[in-house]
Amino acid sequence: MDLSLNDDQNMLKDSVERFVREQYAFETRRKNSATATGWLESNWAKFAELGWLGIPFSEDAGGLGWGTVETAIVMEQFGRGLVLEPYLATVLLGGEAIARGGSAAQQQAILPALIEGKKQLALAYAEKQSRYNLHDVTTSAKKEGAGYVLSGHKGVVFNGPSADHIIVAARTSGGQRDAKGVTLFLVDKNAKGLTRRDYPTQDASRASELTLDKVSVGADAVVGKVDDGFALLEEVIDRATVAVCAEAVGCMDALNAATHEYIKTRKQFGVPIGKFQVLQHRMVDMFTHAQESRSMVLMATLKIDDADAAVRRKAASAVKVQIGKSGRFVGQGAVQLHGGMGVTDELNVSHYFKRLTMIDSIFGNQQFHLTRYGQIMAEAA
Amino acid sequence: MDLNFTEADQKFRAEVVDFIKTNLPAEIADKVKHGKHLSKDDHMRWQQALGRKGWLVASWPKKHGGPGWTATQKYIFDNVCAEMNCPPIIPFGTKMVGPVIYTFGNEEQKQRFLPGIRESTVWWCQGYSEPGSGSDLASLKTRAVREGDHYIVNGSKTWTTLGQYAEWIFCLVRTDVNAKQQEGISFLLIDMKSPGVEVQPIIMADGGHEVNSVFFTDVKVPVENLIGKEGEGWTYAKFLLANERSGIAAVPQSKRGVESLKRIAASEQQDGKPLIQDGAFRDKIADLEIQLQALEFTELRILSSEAAGGAPGPEVSFLKIRGSEIQQRITELAVEAVGYYANPYLPGLLWQGSNEEPVGPAYATTAAPRYFNVRKTSIYGGSNEIQKNIIAKMVLGL
């Protein structure tokens, strides 16, 4: 057993760390988030140049052929800087869906351009009533001629405003909540009948609500197999879950470092407040939570490729439960120990706290994954 | 012992309900119900209506213009107000400086300041915390130097809630730098229009402008604005802080919060069923409601001993601790309940009163901002860590 990073992985880590240090000072981030798209083209071009956009994709497609360990390295550093560029939506959701389920033609059309930084993607899976159930799908895709006609609504589509293509989960057969009968479609952002309502998110990112009013697509727009989209969707989301948990570890480390520094320097009653035992113990608990979270991300990155889907699903749920619990503990603790400053917009602490809160709310929260883990566990018993 | 209200109490309750129905504008109640931002005018309209009725300063003695209610009547009033979505009463005049003025101020000060508080024609704010003095309030540095008939005030205050609306600020200032820390502090009333007073907004994590920094540069304050004796401000400050803590349990507001949480959970769908039917989530709400009952009956016990002549002691600190934890838990569960729709951030709808459509259900718009915002409740009014120190020392003698 060897749980240490190899040379390539260490180099990747150093290079993302350097980018965040040099390009993501907190006030720079604030300016970037206020631009029209909420992120910078120049940063995205740099990601392309450094090869980060190709990490999970095959060398045939122009990628690096690496995996979840490497995307987790990137995401952890992005978490430290609260990076706004849509790496999660374009590379880990949209890109992975195409890479794992797309036809050869779709892969050729999308992946090289994505890896060069020329294409943005989004994955539209949630609906107003669906909560975290990936096969609660009312958006319909009706066969018409050689193609399909899509109608319905998709909610909270991250990177919707910037995406060139959106991969939409729609129902081709079965009842509203059947696992069978969900199909993924590649839809162009300019498709007739597709309208978006764009908005900012609590954590300074961007998302959209989509309305599909008889959007026509060809048979070649199907990503993966007709009626079997759920399995693909779940696999992609499980992987993205691990990545977003790595991001959360970066957020927690940054919060703990800031809090540690603050309680050593902030003086009340004539001493640094870190001299008070009750604050020391809270800081120790925050530190422990971050350590356990890091361990669970490591566990999940190593199990996510397991041939047995149950192992993969359990790993993703386990790490999301850990991150939900620890993200809340560390986030709330960091705010509390910073006192009034912790609840201001001015200090970065509240921004990490907001991101950690939103991370819990996506891909299934702590409660959802606890239940899911329990169900898989019970099925095996 | 009797949990039921007397006939007189029932009658009083009906009178309060009636008054609110007649005097609370529907659009203000709607804002309160949905946790939306209230303007200065919203607060003023409601408080002035209460003021005209003589109900704004419920806890004041009759001789200073209070309604002379029993503890039960106050309890009924607070609960009905919360149930019917009345704006919270801004405490800075009514619960903080008002009682200080009628307890420690001179006749002239009572005549001058109390009517404006009772009728809510003057907006007050609080000048306690400073950038370097939070939990350790007595270390405050804002200086007031006597020069003839005036004090010259220099320094800064922070976390001044709604100071952007205020006409007056009550301040703790240091009048003697050589005395022992607590003994060099005085209690001054300062007109916000005085030259040299500057208010700067502090934006909160939810994006709202609720608190401010207030800077004082050579501000001339007439000596008649000093409350009580020079150097005894700390005594008045402690009196005021004890009052601040007792209202802070926010039981009626939390009851409304739990009811609203249940409505959200009944409306949200999970696998085609209302979320409230999910055992795990329902257990969390049930647990919260039980915690709130424990807090409510603790507060009632304290109220009842107060009515019997006992003074509330330092044990009110745990009302603040538990009250804040419960307020925070309500918002935490609301974020959990709304799932993905916690994400959209709509500042226009939240802060500018715009009419844009919410992205998800209307209640989802405020879920995350409320959650971020109420983290303040375990920090302000003496952090929960400080409250625990008070209980350890003053109640348990440790």
pLDDT band at B309 (very low <50, low <70, confident <90, very high): low
Reading the block at residue B225, the tokens are 């604005």
Residue A17 has pLDDT above 90, yes or no: yes
- Residue B321 confidence class, pLDDT cut points 50, 70, 90: very high
**A269-280 pLDDT, tens per residue?**
999 999 999 999
**Predicted confidence (pLDDT) per residue in A236-246, tens digit:** 999 999 999 99
Q: Name residues 352-391 of chain B within 8 A of A (Cβ).
A: 359-360, 368-369, 371-373, 375-376, 378-380, 383-385, 388
- CATH number at A106 reads 1.10.540.10
Has residue A128 been placed in a domain? Answer: yes
**A189 and A281 fall within a common domain:** no
> Partners of A224 in the beta sheet?
none
Q: What's the confidence (pLDDT) of residue B323?
A: 95
Among A225-234, B4-13, B136-145, where is mean pLDDT lowest?
A: B4-13
Whether B204 has its CB under 8 Å from any CB of chain A: the answer is: yes
Q: Are residues A213 and A95 in the same domain?
A: no
Tens digit of pLDDT for each residue in A180-195? 999 999 999 999 999 9
pLDDT number for residue B314? 78
**Domain positions in chain B:** 7-89, 124-232, 248-395
Determine the pLDDT at residue B351: 83
Asked whether the beta carbons of B245 and B316 are under 8 A apart, the reply is yes
CATH homologous superfamily of B248-395:
Butyryl-CoA Dehydrogenase, subunit A, domain 3 (1.20.140.10)
Mean pLDDT for the stretch of residues B362-366: 94
Which DSSP symbol is given to B264? Answer: H
How far apart (Å, rounded) are the C-alpha atoms in residues A206 and A362?
14
Which among A228, A258, A284 is the end of a domain?
A: A228
- A302 and A332 share one domain: yes
Q: Are residues A203 and A106 in the same domain?
A: no
Please give the pLDDT value at position A148. Answer: 98
CA distances from B275 to A365, B264, B334, B364 (A): 14, 8, 12, 14
The DSSP annotation for A65-79 comes to ---HHHHHHHHHHHH
Nearest-CB residue to A278 (from B139, B359, B385): B385
| Inter-chain touch A340–B129, beta carbons under 8 Å | yes
Task: Supply the range of the domain harboring residue A239.
Answer: 230-380
Please say which residue of A196, A228, A260 terminates a domain.
Answer: A228
Q: How confident is the model at residue B381, as a pLDDT?
A: 86
B124-232 and B248-395 share one fold: no
Residue B143 buriedness (CB in 10 A; 0-12 / 13-18 / 19+): middle
Judgement on whether residues A213 and A288 belong to the same structural domain of the protein: no
Residue B59's pLDDT band, with cuts at 50, 70 and 90, is confident
Q: What pLDDT shows up at residue A346?
A: 96
CATH number where A138 lies: 2.40.110.10
Beta strand A222-223 with A182-188: parallel, antiparallel or unpaired?
antiparallel
C-beta atoms of A132 and B268 within 8 A: no
The whole-number pLDDT of residue A138 equals: 98
Domain count for chain A, please give it: 3
Is A340 close to B346, i.e. CB distance below 8 A?
no
Q: Does the beta carbon of A176 lie under 8 angstroms from any beta carbon of chain B?
A: yes
Residues A238 and A156 in one domain: no
Whether residue B344 lies within 8 A of chain A, CB to CB, comes out as: yes
For the cut 90, the answer to whether the pLDDT of residue B377 exceeds it is yes
A279 falls within a domain: yes
Do A288 and A308 lie in one domain? The reply is: yes
Q: What is chain A's mean pLDDT, rounded?
A: 97
Q: Mean pLDDT, to the nearest integer, of A259-268?
A: 97
In a domain, A139, yes or no: yes
For residue A99, the model assigns a pLDDT of 98
* pLDDT top residue among A287 and B247: A287
* A241 lies in the same domain as A279: yes
Percentage of residues of chain B with pLDDT beyond 70: 97
Task: Report the pLDDT averaged over residues A51-57.
Answer: 98
Cβ B364 vs Cβ B310: under 8 Å: no
Residue A331 maps to a domain: yes
Give domain status of residue A11, yes or no. yes
Indicate whether A176 and A301 sit together in one domain: no
CA distance A75 to chain B (A): 20
In a domain? residue A1: no
A224 lies in the same domain as A242? no
Neighboring chain B residues of A132 at a CB cutoff of 8 Å = 339
**A358: chain B residues, CB-CB within 8 Å:** 342-343, 368
| Chain centre to alpha carbon of residue B119 | 18
Residues A59 and A85 in one domain: yes
Output the pLDDT for position B311.
63
Both A159 and A130 in one domain: the answer is yes
Q: Which CATH number fits domain B124-232: 3.40.50.1010, 1.10.3720.10, 2.40.50.100, 2.40.110.10?
A: 2.40.110.10
Tens-place pLDDT, residues B118-167 = 999 999 999 999 999 999 999 999 999 999 999 999 999 999 999 999 99
Residue A175 lies in a domain: yes
User: How many angstroms separate the CA atoms of B36 and B59, rounded?
Assistant: 27
Residue A381: which pLDDT band, with cuts at 50, 70 and 90? confident
Which of A189, A211, A228 is the endpoint of a domain?
A228
| pLDDT surpasses 90 at B85 | yes
CA distance A327 to chain B (A): 13
Res. B246 pLDDT band, cuts 50 70 90: low
The stretch B240-251 carries a mean pLDDT of 74
pLDDT of residue B307: 67
CB B276 within 8 A of CB B292: no
**B245: nearest Cα among B182, B173, B315:** B315
Predicted confidence (pLDDT) at residue A222 exceeds the cutoff of 90:
yes
pLDDT of residue B18: 98
Do residues A170 and A152 make contact, with C-beta atoms less than 8 angstroms apart?
yes
A122 with A196: CB under 8 angstroms?
A: no
3-class DSSP state of B105: coil
Instruction: Indicate whether B216 pLDDT > 90.
Output: yes
